Amino acid sequence: MKVLFVAGDPKPERWTVPIKQLLPEADIYVWDPDGPAINADYAIVWQPPAQLFERETRLKAVFNLGAGIDGLLKVPNLPADLTVVRLEDAGMSVQMAEHVLHQILEVSRQMELYREQQRQRLWKIHRPISRKEWPIGIMGLGHIGKRVASTLASLDYTVNGWARSEHTVEGVRTFAGNGQLREFLGATRVLVNTLPLTSETENILNYDLFSQLQPGAVLINVGRGEHLVEEDLLRALNEEKLQRASLDVFRKEPLPAGHAFWERTDITITPHISARTLRDATLEQITGKIRDHASGHPITGIVDIARGY
């Protein structure tokens, strides 16, 4: 079995050494843009070059080093019949739930106000939180979205969820499809985006959508930067359609130093750290699936290329 690692890491041995330990029966190769074809059986990739699929024509499956596969699906010559497998969780969903909860607590419990009081050496207690005033809406109910939703519901927040298709999450009221989107937004004050990036979800976070949220609304975007129409966000903040926004993903990363978002006190910026890929858990999952696939056993996480997730 030949496995090709294609991720552009300047220190690929950080990945290839544990891959070999987990798959001792395999020969492990690192992508060389100037090298010959190795006739790999499997490729482990992150934003691979188009040249990969021109050269390696015998791939049985490609495994993505992340849950989001929009970068892989943009490769123009990705074979339509190739098995594409995304990462399932691998420690990311709990990180995402922690991150979203932190952002919600910052605003709902007025933590910045208390930090300012500390700077002023002021001891003053404000009204305690009323969770009924902070209904949360989760857009996207994949593995990560469901974990975020169930975590918040376990803390007695009112949590709604929306996705293209119907889902069931304990303790969460769910909505499905464009026909129920308006009702979902009207029941939401804190909007959390965990959607996959597809042609249908690109630019979904726009002025019209923000205008349908409850007063004093908050946006938390942990999906993709391309979901957000940046000018619409600034307009919604200026017109007080939104109270504030917490952004972890951007159209261009790193966010340019001259970008308008840096100047806003009502926007919290984090550098795409809401859920980091954990190497050990990731490679255990991927190598286990490679072994199962090679043995003819069914595997999960296979992407529907036509739907984009």
* Choice among 164, 224, 227, 244 that is catalytic: 224
Where are the alpha helices (H) located in the chain, listed in sequence order?
A: 13-22, 51-55, 70-73, 92-108, 111-119, 143-154, 181-186, 207-210, 230-238, 279-294
Q: Is 272 a catalytic residue?
A: yes
* Choice among 102, 109, 259, 272 that is catalytic: 272
Give the C-alpha separation, 140 to 144, whole Å.
Answer: 8
Helix, coil or strand: residue 242: strand
Q: Is the peptide bond before 18 cis (omega within 30 degrees of 0)?
A: no
Tokens of 15: 């990945």
Residue 112 contacts residue 163 (beta carbons within 8 Å) = no
Give the C-alpha separation, 154 to 156, whole Å.
Answer: 5
Helices 279-294 and 13-22: angle between axes, nearest 10 degrees: 50
Q: How far apart are the first and last CA of the chain?
A: 27
Q: What residues are labeled active site?
A: 224, 272
